[in-house]
Amino acid sequence: MRIVVVAPSCTLKREAADAVQAIVDERGDCELVIHPQCFLSDGHFAGPDEARLAALREVMGDPSVEAVWFARGGYGSNRIAEAALADLPDAAGGKLYMGYSDAGFLLAGLHKAGLDVAWGPMPQDALRPDGDISIHRALNWLVLRDRSALEPQLQTPAMAFNLTVLSSLLGTSLEPDFTGIDLMIEDLSEQLYRIDRTMFHVAASENVRKVSRLRLGRVSDILPNDPEFAGDETAIVKHWCARSGIAFGGRADIGHDAHNRVVPFGTAKS
């Protein structure tokens, strides 16, 4: 199994790359290539749009690459997603693309283009507390298709998104078909009023209203709301589900932490 890491959003930290390489060396069950583009830096991004796009297109078109692993989130994959999906090379198929958070823009577009994608931990997660657990879980899915890595209540077809990313891709060319999907959302570093506003937007979508159920992952590092918001994130999501005729399916085991589980998009090829 040959896995290549590229960074369509922000720069990968060297310490994270080293930690992941050490885990891979110890496991000995795959080959890991960390593309040098991961360490570029251009303002907010891991290099200019052109460099991030070129690295992604290079690995998409390489038949020897069996998994494309997105280095980390942050912000920026949306800026190159449409170009990444144009005139797909044959070699773009037959491999798995994995990441989460900002990488959701690419997951959506790649899935829509018929490719095999999964929400799951990324190399930068190695730096979190218990980050090695994340990395092993990711590799257990990428290399072994070990079902214990999966979100435990997953019903297929499924998808998972950062809520703010999901809101930002609605109405764009990246928006996938949500019909019958077990849709999981999570978020971080937002005030509750923003979560409420984003849920208003997402729940208004006729496409999102076609999900089989909506489940709420963790909303972490909630920023202070002045004044205190009435109700927590679960109350907010339930409110908008009820108003919009969406079945609320309870909590989901995803989030910006070491416990973040894998959610293959669509019907998992396991």
Q: Which of 130, 171, 247, 270 binds its own copies (CB under 8 A)?
A: 171
Residue 37 binds its own copies (CB under 8 A): no
Q: How far is the CB of 92 from its own copies (least distance, A)?
A: 23
Residue 168 binds its own copies (CB under 8 A): yes
Residue 124 binds its own copies (CB under 8 A): no
- Within 10 Å of residue 221's Cβ, how many Cβ atoms? 10
Round to whole Å and give the CA distance between 58 and 6: 10
Residue 42 binds its own copies (CB under 8 A): yes
Round to whole Å and give the CA distance between 221 and 191: 9
Round to whole Å and give the CA distance between 163 and 21: 31
Q: How far is the CB of 168 from its own copies (least distance, A)?
A: 5
Residue 101 binds its own copies (CB under 8 A): no
Question: Looking at 56-64, 223-231, 251-259, 262-270, which segment touches its own copies (CB under 8 A)?
Answer: 223-231
Task: Return the residues of window 78-97 that contact its own copies according to CB under 8 A.
Answer: 78-79
Q: How far is the CB of 148 from its own copies (least distance, A)?
A: 34
In the complex, which residues of this chain contact its own copies (CB under 8 A)?
Answer: 41-45, 74-76, 78-79, 164, 167-173, 192-193, 196-198, 200-201, 204-205, 225, 227-231
